[in-house]
Every structure is written in C-alpha cells, then in structure tokens.
Amino acid sequence: MASSDAALVVVLSDAGGVDELFFGVEGIAKGLRAGSIVLIRSTLLLSQLEKLEQKLTDEKDVFLLDGYIFSGLSDELKQQIIIVASGRQDVSERARKFFHSLYNTVYFAEGEFCTSSKLRVVNDLLEGIHFVASIEAMYLGVRAGIHPSIIYDIISNAAGSSRIFVELVPKLLSGDPLLIDFLNSARKNAGRIQGPGCPGCSPG
C-alpha cells in the first residue's frame, strides 16, 4: 500500500457495543485517516456488518473489509492463520498489496461485501451437521450393541469420519467439559445462520 494508506485488523468476539467501539468518544474511527482500510472479523449479523460498512464509508471515508479468520487444518496449511477477506474490489486490491507482504495465507474472495462471513456461515452449518450426524451415528452403534470405543476406533479411520467426529466424540465419551464450549459456540452460530443477513442471504 502507499505510504499514505493505513490498515487495521479488528477481531470482535462480542457484537455488543460495536457503535461505541468504532464511533464513541475514543472510538477506532477517530484515529484513522480518510482512506484507511479496516478488516473486521466479528460475530455481527450480516445485516449489521453492512450497516457498519456503510456508516464508516459515509461518515469517516474509511473502508471496511469483511474477514473470516481461522486456523488451517490441511497438511499444507496446518496451524497457519488463514484470512479470507471480501469487500469492494478497489479496496480489496489496495489491501492485497499490504497483507501479502505480511502473510502468504491471505485470500480475497470474489463477490460483494459479506462474502467472507457467508463462507463462515456455510462452515458453521457444516460443523453443526457433522456434529449431529456423529452423535446419531454413535447412538445407532450403541443401540446395535457395539461398544462406543470400538465404534470410534473403526469409524475415525473409515470413510465416514470427519474432523468433528475425530475431535469431539472422545470429549463426549469422556465427559470433557470442553465439549460445552463447542456446544455454546454452535448455539451462537445457529443464531447467525437463522438471523437476517445481506441481500441474497435470506432463505427463499
């Protein structure tokens, strides 16, 4: 990016108080010069992200990129931080030059603003489906008289396995309290999936 440009990455785990965070007395927007770019990863609903993007552009001349940030799981990208960003094409092009000098795992998704969050919704939905399917499969095997440990040992190495099955079924069988964290997260994600979104996100 040009020396006159500025970029900021914001990871927001709680949607509450977002206006105060950006536009309050000591809000983020006050410290950014016109033309700056903000990449945000948040739990905001897609419609809320759109409103924030519009407000930053109209009132502060600051541009927002939607970000999906996660840890890679494939052999090639394992434990690497992956960033998928989306937004206006001209803003993405400017940000690409900056972020690629820092990370080689930053990807810019084609499409409108909120594309990254839509990808996250798709992933969250699949995680939930895999979890429910894993529980149902374990229940079926136990009802058929197979010991849970045998079911896990066989299925975790078979075609029907998934990362969710491999990681969460042992927590289920051992009563690991960390499973509660996953369930709480899944419940929040379900709210995002069911909530109002960007144009094109609404069911039907």
Nearest Cα neighbor of 186 from 119, 126, 144 is 126
Tell me which of 81, 113, 145 is where a domain ends.
Answer: 113
32/100 same-domain check: yes
Check residue 73 and report its DSSP letter: -
Tell me which of 59, 90, 113 is where a domain ends.
Answer: 113
Q: What rounded mean pLDDT belongs to the chain?
A: 83
| Tokens matching residue 87 | 């937004």
Q: Which residue has the higher pLDDT, 197 or 154?
A: 154
If 0-12 CB within 10 Å is exposed, 13-18 middle and 19+ buried, where does residue 83 land?
Answer: buried
Q: Per-residue pLDDT tens for 167-192?
A: 999 999 999 888 888 888 777 766 66
139/96 same-domain check: no
Given a cut of 70, whether residue 3 has pLDDT beyond it is no
75/126 same-domain check: no
**CATH assignment of the domain containing 96:** 3.40.50.720
Nearest Cα neighbor of 82 from 94, 96, 97, 72 is 72
Structural contact between residues 83 and 68, judged by C-beta atoms closer than 8 angstroms: yes
- Global pTM reads 0.75
80/128 same-domain check: no
Residue 23 belongs to domain spanning:
7-113
Please indicate, yes or no, if residue 202 is contained in any of the structural domains: no
Structural contact between residues 201 and 118, judged by C-beta atoms closer than 8 angstroms: yes
If 0-12 CB within 10 Å is exposed, 13-18 middle and 19+ buried, where does residue 197 land?
Answer: buried
How many whole angstroms separate alpha carbon 79 and alpha carbon 100?
18
85/155 same-domain check: no
Q: Per-residue pLDDT tens for 117-128?
A: 889 889 988 988
Mean pLDDT score, 66-83: 85
9 strand-pairing partners? 39
26/87 same-domain check: yes
Q: Per-residue pLDDT tens for 89-108?
A: 989 988 887 777 666 788 89
Please indicate, yes or no, if residue 1 is contained in any of the structural domains: no
